[in-house]
Structure 1
Amino acid sequence: MTSPQKPTVDAPTGPAPTELEITDITVGDGAEAQAGSTVDVHYLGVSFDSGEEFDSSWSRNQSINFPLRSLIAGWQQGIPGMKVGGRRQLVCPPQLAYGPKGGGHPLSGQTLIFVIDLLGVK
């Protein structure tokens, strides 16, 4: 099953959240992701501050398949409970993304928005 199209993210307003925000855009009806699952996802990543896209599996026309425990904390906390066929938005503060500013990753110190389509679970 493929999702209809690449999602878009409206430019955020107001202050960045300090806790993980989880919003279901579409609730799936397939298998449910667990904390120990390997997930197959399409995703879009946008900077909360600029609204600019920094990464997208859609741009590569290829979903990614990863053990959930190897991903950033925001994904580890935000994907379990999601069902295949669903689309969920996660707003991840720096401590659940790539850490504080100066942490060595280009996105360190940033609040990040991800829109994730769950395509499969193992």
Structure 2
Amino acid sequence: MAKLVLAFIVVSAFLLVSAKKLDDVTELQIGVKYKPETCDIQAHKGDKIKVHYRGKLTDGTVFDSSYERGTPFEFTLGGGQVIKGWDQGLLGMCVGEKRKLKIPSKMGYGDRGSPPKIPGGATLIFDTELIAVNGKSANKGADSEL
């Protein structure tokens, strides 16, 4: 009986690891969830952008959210201030657009992770919304502080 239980545990562990690997990606995946009818303001390398986001692991665990803080995150796109998956995944995004980014470990936090919330080798999933580019938002037009 003990051998049967041990075999069950080994098989269960293997299936759990295999299921996790199915959710992992090796290349950046960008999914557009919403795109405005017009794209008057678009994000380019070097632009200062404001983004709302929710970051999750593949098991659905939320590790960070600007929505919960009530303040979008601001940074220079392509300036190396954020993970590579963001610098590439947000390029060309329109103000008001929403994207889902599935970021492989190599474009996120790598094998080291970002303890304690992000384990090493983790694929990251971000729901993002572009709020403003260079101080300009879709609904306010010119130099608005959000």
Q: Which has the higher strand share?
A: 1
Question: How many residue pairs end up in the alignment?
Answer: 108
- Which of 125, 131, 134 does residue 113 from structure 1 map onto? 125
Structure 1, unmatched stretches of 5+, are: 1-11
- Which of 11, 14, 22 does residue 14 from structure 1 map onto? 22
Q: Secondary structure at the match of 1:110?
A: coil
- Which of 68, 72, 91 does residue 102 from structure 2 map onto? 91
Q: Which has the higher helix share?
A: 2
- Is the counterpart of residue 25 in structure 1 residue 36 in structure 2? no
Retained in 1: the 8 A contact 2:35–2:96? yes
Percent of matched pairs sharing the same residue: 38
Question: What is the TM-score when the length of structure 1 is the normalising length?
Answer: 0.81
How much does 1:24 deviate?
0.5
Instruction: Determine which structure has greater relative contact order: mean sequence separation of CA pairs < 8 Å that are 6+ residues apart, divided by chain length.
Output: 1
Structure 1 runs, 4 residues or longer, greater than 3 Å off: 12-15
In the alignment, which residue of structure 1 is the partner of 2:88? Answer: 77
Q: Secondary structure at the match of 2:51?
A: strand
Supply the RMSD in Å over aligned alpha carbons: 1.8
CA–CA distance in structure 2, aligned partners of residues 86 and 104 of structure 1 = 28
The alpha-carbon distance between structure 1 residues 79 and 18, as it changes in their structure 2 partners (threshold 3 A), is: same
Deviates more, 1:71-80 or 1:23-32: 23-32
In the alignment, which residue of structure 2 is the partner of 1:57? Answer: 66
